[in-house]
Chain A
Amino acid sequence: DSGVTQTPKHLITATGQRVTLRCSPRSGDLSVYWYQQSLDQGLQFLIQYYNGEERAKGNILERFSAQQFPDLHSELNLSSLELGDSALYFCASSVASGQGVEKLFFGSGTQLSVL
C-alpha cells in the first residue's frame, strides 16, 4: 500500500460528460502529480501541484483541469469527454525537496471508460 488513495477505482461514462477524479496523497507529502496511461500514448504527465499551487504542466488538454485543496487532496476534472479520453489515470505524491523530483508514490489509479 503506497498510502496514496484514489477514488473511484472504475468510472464508466458517456461522451460529452464530465467526471471528477479524486486523490489523497500520502500523509506529509506536499506534491501531487497526475498522469494518464493509455496503450498508445504510454504514461503521460498531466500536471503537478505543490502545497496548493500549480507547479508544472504537461500535455494536459484544455478540457481537463485540476486543483489541490488546503488539506492537500487533489481533484482532476475531465469535461466534454471523448472516446480517446479512456485511460488509466494515476495520482502520485512526493515530498518535494526543491532539488529535483524524488521518488513518487503512486495510487492504484482510476480506470476511466468513455462509451
Chain B
Amino acid sequence: SQQGEEDPQALSIQEGENATMNCSYKTSINNLQWYRQNSGRGLVHLILIRSNEREKHSGRLRVTLDTSKKSSSLLITASRAADTASYFCATDEVTSGSRLTFGEGTQLTVNP
C-alpha cells in the first residue's frame, strides 16, 4: 500500500527554473526521505528530514515538513537538464516497523 501521495505526477520545466514537488502521507512518522530514480535505475537517497525538523537544505535541495498537515515538499532550485528523473518521497512510519513506504513519485523533466 502507498503511504505517500505525490503531487504533481509529472512536471515539465525549463532549465534554470525551480521545481517543487509535494508529498502527503497518512500516519505518524519518524522521518521522511526523498529519493531520485533515473529511468529504470536504482534509487538514490537525496535527503532525510526527521519528524521534529521543519526544514532542511542540501545544496540546491530544500525540504520542508509539516507534521500537522502530514505533508512535505521538495524544492530543487536552478534546475538542470541532469535533474530529469523521478522523485519519490518515502516515510518511516511509527507503527509500521522497519520499512520505508514509498509514494508514487513525480516525474520531473527539465528542458534545456
Contact = CB atoms under 8 A, between A and B. Distances in A.
Interface residues on A, range: 20 to 34
Interface string B56-67: 000000000000
Given A90-B42, A106-B43, A55 B97 contact: yes
Contacts of A101: 30-31, 92, 98-100
Contacts of B12: none
Nearest to B47: A103
A89 to B, nearest CB: 11
A43 B102 contact: yes
A104 B33 CA distance: 10
B2 interface: yes
Contacts of A96: 98
B48 A42 contact: no
Interface residues of B, number: 25
B56 to A, nearest CB: 13
A43 B42 CA distance: 12
A90 to B, nearest CB: 6
A12 B40 CA distance: 17
Contacts of B103: 42
B88 interface: yes
Contacts of B35: 104, 106
B44 interface: yes
A99 B30 contact: yes
Interface of A: 2, 4, 31, 33, 35, 42-43, 45, 48, 50, 55-56, 58-59, 88, 90, 92, 96, 99-109, 111
Given A88-B40, A103-B48, A104-B43, 4 more contacts: A43-B105, A92-B43, A106-B35, A108-B42
